[in-house]
Chains A and B, each alone.
Chain A
Amino acid sequence: MLRILVIEDDPEAASYLVKGLTELGHTADQAADGQTGLQMSLDSDYDILIVDRMLPRLDGLSVIQQLRDEGNHTPVLILSALGQVDDRVKGLKAGGDDYLPKPYAFTELQARVEALARRPKSASQVETTYTVGDLTLDRMAHSCRRGETEIPLQPREFRLLEYLMQNAGQVVTRTMLLENVWEYHFDPQTNVIDVHISRLRGKIDKGFATPLLHTIRGAGYTIRDAAH
């Protein structure tokens, strides 16, 4: 369960967000302007902030900047109608951790919020190995094993699996993969990510009794142990 603060001035958009997040089992508060939002986020200890860019009284980027100046490092997801690459860059430079352009699919928001929550807080917390079921990824040795079998991976396949395992059990969308694994910020019209996933699946799941890599229809992918 996460404590989430939604700083959004449009009441309908805000209540839709709060309702959706509450249904997922999180606690969500709402602030209708930048000033209130900044105060609330400084006063209480939230796990995630969802910040709209265009806010009355204090705009979203200033809220983030002041928050960071105060030494607060709560992960921030920027939610904005301004979705161009340079807008994203501006948002991330101001101290945002992720950027989701409006309109968005709720599954996409959910996936990103959960990915943010799982993000290691500091370098010392970064794990060197990830394990899901009998699949192990060693970041130091750059190796991957499933059970007793050594699985050879191309560098990009390694990055892809690494990102999926970092977010094990969570849904990861195609856009998130394109942004985080390939660092591209545009929509390809074809299923180019699906092909990479299916190749990866061929390597880590083929010939094993339980599949670990799952497709979530209409959302993206997740890697999880069937036993859980």
Chain B
Amino acid sequence: MTRLTRFTRTTAFKLSLLYVGVFTVMSGFLVVYVAENTDHLMSEQVVQSVDSELKGLADVYVRGGVRDLVETIDRRSRHPDASLYLLTDFAGNALVGNIARLPTVVLEEADGGLRRVRYTRLGQNTEDIERQAMVRTFELRGGFRLLVGRDLGDQLKFSNLLANALRLWLVVIVLMGAITWFFVNSRVMKRIDDISATSRTIMHGDLTGRLSVAGNNDEFDRLAINLNTMLERIELLMQSMKDVTDNIAHDLKTPLTRLQTRIEIALRDAKGEEGYRDALEATLDETDHLLRIFNALLRIARIESMAPGTVMEPTDLNKMVAEIAELYEPLVEDEGGRLETEVPAGLYAECNKDLISQVLVNLTENALKYGRPIEGDLVIRMSARLEDDRVQLSVSDNGAGIPEKDQDRVKERFVRLEESRSEPGTGLGLSLVKAVARLHGGELRFKNETPGLSARIDLKPAEPDGSGSGNGQDGKTGEKRS
């Protein structure tokens, strides 16, 4: 692409060209309209004055004869801005008048109507200058011919003025076009170029790049801010994808390697059927573990890809928590702990019962595994309450808690704090809780209590039968679908 074509292809150039074009056409139209109308008006005036003068002079001739006519013409033509007069006899000799030269044909056509002629004026120092006039010839009795006309100098001057104005106007328009181009090019296009340059570097793999924000909150700033937010999200997703890959490499490779080793050892060393049976049973345990990890991963991916608001229904939290507590109470007691619940009766939330049950199960199992206090008995408390128009569902323990710096990290897939690596588990429990919380329009939050840790998610409250808030809910679901 040559420099010129690149230049003519810019939006700034096209915009300026369009601007100049439109304004030229519009102002041309305006000037032509004004010129036509004034010309028409002025011609009308000339016709009227020429005709009335002719009539007056004809009267003078009828009343006073040729002598009076000559005198009147002579007197009138001495005025500085006098009309044009010429009186000739039957032979065509000029008797009186202020015209020095005139095309002869004009006088021969008596009453040929008004016509435009070029002439030279008599008795002025501009005798050589040809001027234009509208004249009319009239034949008097006795073979005299009378010519009366008006000089068109004023009218022509006006036309010149308009033409000059148009020319000046065109210059102004082109200049303004150039200014527009300059402004658009330097301010607007430059920022668009900036954005595309930055996005090119980002496309080449540098996800840390961000678009510059000028700070004047115009469209470009808003665009840049939105794109930056998008980039942050993408960077986060890429990072977590990398983490997942790393963690899969570690957490899935480990059991796979163990599996392989066991099979190899069994093939090499196992003695008799009993040995093979033991090896196969151990292998089965390992594949069970692997399958559990895969299922959990698939489940999380599935939940993360669901649209918020799907498969939700008003759910009695009191009943749900009581059921989970009933399932887990014996287990907690066997571990020497206590399970408490605190949910007000009639508290309903818009949620997926199965997923939220699983959330409670995961959080409870986490509390069981990691929430044990150094001294005294483990107390796990499941509670739900209405707070700031959201239902807060939480599971807390009285253990050591999670250090602040790790609270976000533990929600990631496969992340297990060093202390918990020895415990059985997939490291996916909290990732699932996080995904479910997001599906329900909330977040998983941790808070270190004294003592212990409370993990909570927030849900949208609902009316028991769903009819009380029916309209609002329908509206919401509609929005979400669109």
> Could you list which residues of chain A lie within 8 angstroms of chain B, going by C-beta atoms?
83-86, 103, 105, 156, 182, 184-192, 195-196, 199, 218
Contacts and interface: CB of A to CB of B under 8 A. Distances in A.
B32 interface: no
A218 B429 CA distance: 24
Contacts of A190: 331, 365, 368
Contacts of A191: 331
Interface string B255-272: 000000000000000000
A182 B323 contact: yes
Given A185-B354, A187-B292, A218-B281, A192 B302 contact: no
A185 B302 CA distance: 15
A186 B354 contact: yes
B328 interface: yes
Nearest to A84: B302
B331 A156 contact: no
Contact of B424 (A84, A85, A189, A199): A189
A195 B291 contact: no
Contacts of B426: 189
Interface in B53-109: none
B477 interface: no
B334 A188 contact: no
A71 to B, nearest CB: 32
B164 interface: no
Given A103-B291, A184-B357, A218-B284, A192 B299 contact: no
Contacts of A85: 354
B417 interface: no
Nearest to A103: B291
B365 A182 contact: no
A49 B415 CA distance: 43
Interface residues of B, number: 25
Nearest to B358: A186
A218 B331 CA distance: 20
A182 B327 contact: yes
B295 A83 contact: yes
Given A83-B295, A103-B291, A184-B354, A189 B425 contact: yes
Given A103-B291, A156-B326, A195-B331, A188 B365 contact: yes
20 contacts: A84-B302, A85-B354, A105-B284, A156-B326, A184-B361, A186-B354, A186-B358, A186-B361, A187-B295, A188-B361, A188-B365, A189-B292, A189-B424, A190-B368, A192-B328, A195-B330, A195-B331, A196-B330, A199-B330, A218-B281
Contacts of A195: 330-331, 334
A84 B299 contact: yes
Nearest to A101: B295
B311 interface: yes
Interface string B275-313: 000000100100000011001000100100000000100
Contacts of B331: 190-192, 195
A195 B339 CA distance: 15
Nearest to B332: A195
Contacts of B323: 182
Contacts of A199: 330
A188 B330 CA distance: 14
Contacts of B424: 189
Given A85-B354, A191-B331, 11 more contacts: A83-B295, A84-B299, A84-B302, A156-B326, A184-B357, A184-B361, A186-B358, A189-B292, A189-B429, A195-B331, A218-B281
A156 B311 CA distance: 28
Nearest to B299: A84
Nearest to A193: B327
Contacts of B328: 192
B421 to A, nearest CB: 15
Contacts of B291: 103
A88 to B, nearest CB: 10
Interface in B176-210: none
B57 to A, nearest CB: 109
Contacts of A189: 292, 365, 424-426, 429
Interface in B339-368: 354, 357-358, 361, 365, 368
A85 B334 CA distance: 30
B378 to A, nearest CB: 14
Contacts of B358: 184, 186
A79 B257 CA distance: 30
Contacts of A185: 354
Give the 6 A-B CB pairs with smallest separation, nearest first: A195-B330, A195-B331, A186-B358, A192-B331, A85-B354, A190-B365
Contacts of A84: 299, 302
Contacts of B299: 84
A196 B331 CA distance: 8
Contacts of B425: 189
B325 to A, nearest CB: 11
Nearest to B432: A186
A163 to B, nearest CB: 15
Interface in B404-429: 424-426, 429
Contacts of B365: 188-190
A218 B286 CA distance: 12
A105 B291 CA distance: 11
A199 B326 CA distance: 13
Contacts of A192: 327-328, 331
Nearest to A85: B354
